[in-house]
Structure 1
């Protein structure tokens, strides 16, 4: 009886292993048979893939209760194993073959079995009986020879991101669907996964190379998300920065060899120090054709559109990054006063553009109703905000929502076209393409109301539209999508996406 639960855990682990492997192989592209992408409908259909495991557990337990005396058997018995294998290879597979043929009869197929074939998934087969009864498809051998020679897919655009916490491995497309829908929330039961988590951490230390986690498509453009196997804590560690810079450089070179035209830096890969190292790396390798982008203007443009129109004053709090400088510059040009709490922040902003002085106000006031927040905002500072304050993040990660009497905006995002393929979760992303090839992408996942769970990653690739803008609309001064105007300034075209 005590073996029932371990058996169920083993079945879950076995299923999840093959799911992860198949998703990785699908994203990588080599040996792929069908190029059809996933969608929300398929994820909905396959939400209950573990039901039969639960049913097996119930049946095993019921059999254990009824046949309690028969369960007093040794853990392993050689003759029993041989008999089990012979029964599986003989009668069981024979009966499965004919049952499967019966299910493909018009009556059963139309009323029941067609649901099983509505998704493009790996199907079991009975090769021996297929050959015996002549039901092998004539194209089987040629299809095998074609797919075995197919090489990995060459992307047009690569988005390079990284892991955030040890548990973030479960939020990738290779992980669990129910966790992918809530990447910024940790579950208590992940504590019981510590052996797998520890193993994945050790693997990332050993395997020093970016790996593919997701693929997307828009018309003829092929998009991929690559993951640097490093965590936030390693990005903030000085002794790891050289290693991370080397990994990013290798990823750039690999993407260039694969024929990618643009590589976007995501999350902490956009950090100023890494950006400087990447710039030096590109100068040392002038033969690279790929355009490396990190983007700052887009976030500023999106945040600018999030600020209420009647606003005349905002408070800036957080690390003064490139995004913050561009945002403050745009606000001051519009005549909106920007209040800074720190003297150092005030000096840094003036150093960036001394024309900001007229609308840049150093003050110790906290009574401003609109706060633009980045990295470094503390809970203590949030507690000083007046009731009804609107917090609008401009950094990669949103602030902790500790105030129930205030409002928190999502990270910068807008709508994406519905023609995007292989999107099967709700995410928020933002993009920029300008004449200097600057792109920024930021992500936050939402629960799918139509699915109950989402099957995707913290990362997505949707700046394909920016490539189109760059190639076809270099002279545009204004771009409108779904009633939202994308501001044109500093020779930059702004666009962003919400995928739901």
Structure 2
């Protein structure tokens, strides 16, 4: 059994913990508490305050993850990993607790229900009580109680276990700490109310500002310009910056203050390098060039909400449709149009593997836009700018996601390499490893396969590889000329294993389908029962047939020593990336100096596969 008040009583409720708000919500509805003459308007105000508090932390966390805006001012260079996201999943427990405390206060002290909307005297008194009581009290409790002996290991160490502080980390505390903080926070509010100067404006404003400053201090992004402290040196003792607070998470015996470093100065716990580090962080000390970039794209409007700068917990799970996303769809659609107009490649996440920084960039284009004839040049311009930007930064390898290397768009990246022959960054389409993943997923005893998208880059490589293994390949294509060109690439003794077919009915007895072109229900009906659909088509086909099985897009699991990864790539599981992404990773780890663009070199498929396994990547 754990220490008293070291765990939340509703920690096993999951999402059902929000039913604890039920009685208040019911009271608001029954009494019409939103009306000005209602005696229960405090219930409505209390729920509204809880919602706004949650919104503060959500927005601050989103801001922290907007790497395309603030990557130069990151304090900790590491990314937030799945372990930290899971630990901080219920970061808002303290809001529920303080909602209970507020409800009890309004129930026990009826005069609180008659508070005016504003009273300037109460604001002034709250400021005095905060500086004179709350700040020194928090400093003493934080330093002398929660950083001493067993109390630290039993309670406060949980808060310090988060490697990269973010706004949610501010609420990642034990119930005991939350109760103590609520008392400290309540001193200015109740003190003003006892003097008869309290108001709803004071309660809202003080709690909101308290949460904002706490969240900002944990945001891992420096937001206070160092020139302000240079111009007004006294301010550095009155404002606790994110850099200042981050030092406390590393050097646990310094920088204990709540919001005002002057108490660390008076208590002798002010870290001597606080201002120097603040100046360095704001100047971009942690802004370095990544070794590897994966240039992705958005699939559709729904998937555009699956990014860490919207809600990190959502993107820490494989993407799937969720009902609560429906109201957000119009907003996401408007953002799509804005991104289309802005047309700037942006950084969405990063991780570290084998000491190399891997970043994920995204072109602001959605799946359907790649198939608009008039959008071709614009999309290529954005990809080209991203490649040139990466080259200028010193990136070693840039890997192209599925539609960014479309053959009809830019010849699998060959367009950019031919246009800029002096590129230092290696451009990689990653399709060699994609082909290897698909081929190694086919059972060894297979004698015949049906291949759609047969004349594409991947289709060609798969067909040529399989025919060398004496496997009969039914290549679906209407172009006899393109089929014959591929057939002639095969050694003479294996050419007869490649067979051109023009109808889906030709595969009605073949149970291994390799899908490189989207299939409708009507087309899938030609597959016999028990068929397995391997696929490399984007977006993946819909599994209409219950008597068949459907493989996911080619993917590989990253090595176990990956650090800072907290984003699921589209519908893939945690730690799993698309094969084209993994192909770029292997290219970097192997130190290969060639570009991997244009047609796939069939002779390198087994070589790339063995290299991937050697570096710890695993087939899914």
Structure 1: distance between partners of 2:544 and 2:316: 22
Matched positions, count: 466
> 1:493 aligned to 2:608?
yes
Q: Which position in structure 2 is the counterpart of 1:416?
A: 558
Of stretches 346-355 and 148-157 in structure 1, the one that deviates more from structure 2 is 346-355
Of stretches 344-353 and 363-372 in structure 1, the one that deviates more from structure 2 is 344-353
Asked if 1 retains the 8 angstrom alpha-carbon contact of 2:555 and 2:579, the reply is no
Of stretches 45-54 and 357-366 in structure 1, the one that deviates more from structure 2 is 357-366
> 1:349 aligned to 2:480?
no
Q: Which position in structure 1 is the counterpart of 2:540?
A: 398
Structure 2: distance between partners of 1:498 and 1:179: 25
User: Residue 65 and residue 98 in structure 1: after superposition, are their counterparts in 2 closer, same or farther (change >3 A)?
Assistant: same
Q: Which position in structure 2 is the counterpart of 1:135?
A: 269
Q: Which position in structure 1 is the counterpart of 2:390?
A: 255
Q: Which position in structure 1 is the counterpart of 2:346?
A: 211
Asked if 2 retains the 8 angstrom alpha-carbon contact of 1:157 and 1:260, the reply is yes
User: Which of 452, 461, 469 matches 2:590?
Assistant: 469
SS at match of 1:226: strand
- Any idea what the Cα deviations from partners look like across 1:148-184, whole Å, max 9, x if unmatched? 3315211111111112222323322323244224444
Asked if 1 retains the 8 angstrom alpha-carbon contact of 2:61 and 2:309, the reply is yes
Instruction: Quote how far apart the aligned CAs of 1:312 are.
Output: 0.7
- Any idea what the Cα deviations from partners look like across 1:224-265, whole Å, max 9, x if unmatched? 111112211222222222222111111111111110121111
Structure 1: distance between partners of 2:81 and 2:343: 32
Structure 1: distance between partners of 2:67 and 2:326: 28
1:358-397 matched pairs, under 5 angstroms: 358-362=497-501, 364-365=505-506, 366-397=508-539
Structure 2: distance between partners of 1:401 and 1:303: 18
Asked if 1 retains the 8 angstrom alpha-carbon contact of 2:555 and 2:619, the reply is no
Instruction: Quote how far apart the aligned CAs of 1:271 are.
Output: 1.0
Structure 2: distance between partners of 1:458 and 1:93: 53
- Any idea what the Cα deviations from partners look like across 1:115-155, whole Å, max 9, x if unmatched? 11112313465313222322211221222233233152111
Structure 1: distance between partners of 2:158 and 2:329: 37
Q: Which has the higher strand share?
A: 1
User: Residue 284 and residue 325 in structure 1: after superposition, are their counterparts in 2 closer, same or farther (change >3 A)?
Assistant: closer
Of stretches 343-352 and 138-147 in structure 1, the one that deviates more from structure 2 is 343-352
Structure 2: distance between partners of 1:88 and 1:384: 74
SS at match of 2:351: strand
Q: TM-score if structure 1 supplies the norm length?
A: 0.81
Instruction: Quote how far apart the aligned CAs of 1:411 are.
Output: 2.0
Q: Which position in structure 1 is the counterpart of 2:6?
A: none
Structure 2: distance between partners of 1:361 and 1:224: 42
Instruction: Quote how far apart the aligned CAs of 1:64 are.
Output: 5.4
Asked if 2 retains the 8 angstrom alpha-carbon contact of 1:160 and 1:266, the reply is yes
Asked if 2 retains the 8 angstrom alpha-carbon contact of 1:444 and 1:458, the reply is no
- Any idea what the Cα deviations from partners look like across 1:39-60, whole Å, max 9, x if unmatched? 4432332121122233334444
Instruction: Quote how far apart the aligned CAs of 1:380 are.
Output: 2.0
1:23-102 matched pairs, under 5 angstroms: 23-25=65-67, 29-61=71-103, 70-71=112-113, 73=115, 75=117, 78-101=120-143, 102=145
Of stretches 122-131 and 107-116 in structure 1, the one that deviates more from structure 2 is 122-131
Q: Which position in structure 1 is the counterpart of 2:201?
A: none
Instruction: Quote how far apart the aligned CAs of 1:106 are.
Output: 2.0
Structure 1: distance between partners of 2:333 and 2:396: 36
User: Which of 144, 160, 184 matches 1:117?
Assistant: 160
User: Residue 458 and residue 199 in structure 1: after superposition, are their counterparts in 2 closer, same or farther (change >3 A)?
Assistant: farther
Structure 2: distance between partners of 1:264 and 1:335: 32
User: Residue 279 and residue 74 in structure 1: after superposition, are their counterparts in 2 closer, same or farther (change >3 A)?
Assistant: farther
- Any idea what the Cα deviations from partners look like across 1:361-385, whole Å, max 9, x if unmatched? 4252323111111232112222332
> 1:13 aligned to 2:55?
yes
Asked if 1 retains the 8 angstrom alpha-carbon contact of 2:306 and 2:315, the reply is yes
Task: Tell me: higher relative CO, structure 1 or 2? Use CA pairs within 8 A at least 6 residues apart.
Answer: 1
Structure 2: distance between partners of 1:498 and 1:467: 17
Q: TM-score if structure 2 supplies the norm length?
A: 0.67
Asked if 2 retains the 8 angstrom alpha-carbon contact of 1:169 and 1:175, the reply is no
User: Which of 277, 290, 306 matches 2:425?
Assistant: 290
Give the aligned CA root-mean-square deviation in angstroms: 3.5
Q: Which position in structure 1 is the counterpart of 2:192?
A: none
User: Residue 397 and residue 166 in structure 1: after superposition, are their counterparts in 2 closer, same or farther (change >3 A)?
Assistant: closer
Instruction: Quote how far apart the aligned CAs of 1:313 are.
Output: 1.0
> 1:221 aligned to 2:346?
no
Asked if 1 retains the 8 angstrom alpha-carbon contact of 2:72 and 2:287, the reply is yes
Structure 2: distance between partners of 1:91 and 1:376: 67
> 1:335 aligned to 2:470?
yes
User: Residue 64 and residue 116 in structure 1: after superposition, are their counterparts in 2 closer, same or farther (change >3 A)?
Assistant: same
Q: Which has the higher helix share?
A: 2
User: Residue 349 and residue 19 in structure 1: after superposition, are their counterparts in 2 closer, same or farther (change >3 A)?
Assistant: farther
Structure 2: distance between partners of 1:95 and 1:312: 77
The answer for unaligned runs of 5 or more in structure 2 is 1-42, 166-217, 219-244, 246-257, 595-601
> 1:162 aligned to 2:297?
yes
Structure 2: distance between partners of 1:215 and 1:7: 34
Asked if 1 retains the 8 angstrom alpha-carbon contact of 2:318 and 2:572, the reply is yes
User: Which of 307, 315, 321 matches 2:456?
Assistant: 321
User: Residue 350 and residue 140 in structure 1: after superposition, are their counterparts in 2 closer, same or farther (change >3 A)?
Assistant: same
SS at match of 1:91: helix
Instruction: Quote how far apart the aligned CAs of 1:461 are.
Output: 6.4
Structure 2: distance between partners of 1:458 and 1:330: 18
Structure 2: distance between partners of 1:353 and 1:7: 69
User: Residue 472 and residue 319 in structure 1: after superposition, are their counterparts in 2 closer, same or farther (change >3 A)?
Assistant: closer
User: Residue 370 and residue 28 in structure 1: after superposition, are their counterparts in 2 closer, same or farther (change >3 A)?
Assistant: farther
Instruction: Quote how far apart the aligned CAs of 1:279 are.
Output: 3.6
Structure 2: distance between partners of 1:245 and 1:184: 27
Q: Which position in structure 1 is the counterpart of 2:436?
A: 301
